[in-house]
Amino acid sequence: MLHFCESNAAFATTLERLMTQIRTREFITPSGTLQITVTYGAVRTHKNDELQTLIDTADRDMYVSKQQGRNRIIFQPRKT
């Protein structure tokens, strides 16, 4: 949940920054170093949105992202 994003542009920028921070970090494990890829769908909420609708939208967009490859974000800006 990104409660502090007041515009589509701020939301998209925040998602990109988050993705970059995750995928450029090395995670040290007992088995060795891991590099994580990030693929997700995202949706902005509005006051009367139903939770299940938001989950379904983000889930559908995540699968579209996965079809396009690694390190992808699908975010369909909503009218404010």
pLDDT band at 65; cut points 50, 70, 90:
confident
Q: What is the pLDDT of residues 11-31, one digit of tens each?
A: 888 888 988 998 899 999 999
At residue 79 the predicted structure's pLDDT band, cuts being 50, 70 and 90, is low
Instruction: Measure the CA–CA gap between 20 and 64, rounded to whole angstroms.
Output: 19
Q: Does the predicted TM-score (pTM) go above 0.85?
A: no
d(CA 59, CA 69): 16
pLDDT, residue 2, reads 61
**Measured distance CA(10)–CA(5) in Å, rounded:** 6
Q: Which helix (H) or strand (E) holds 35?
A: strand 32-35
Q: How far apart are CA 72 and CA 51, in angstroms?
A: 23
Spatial contact of 58 and 25, defined as CB atoms under 8 Å apart: no
Task: Taking residues 62-69, report their average pLDDT.
Answer: 87
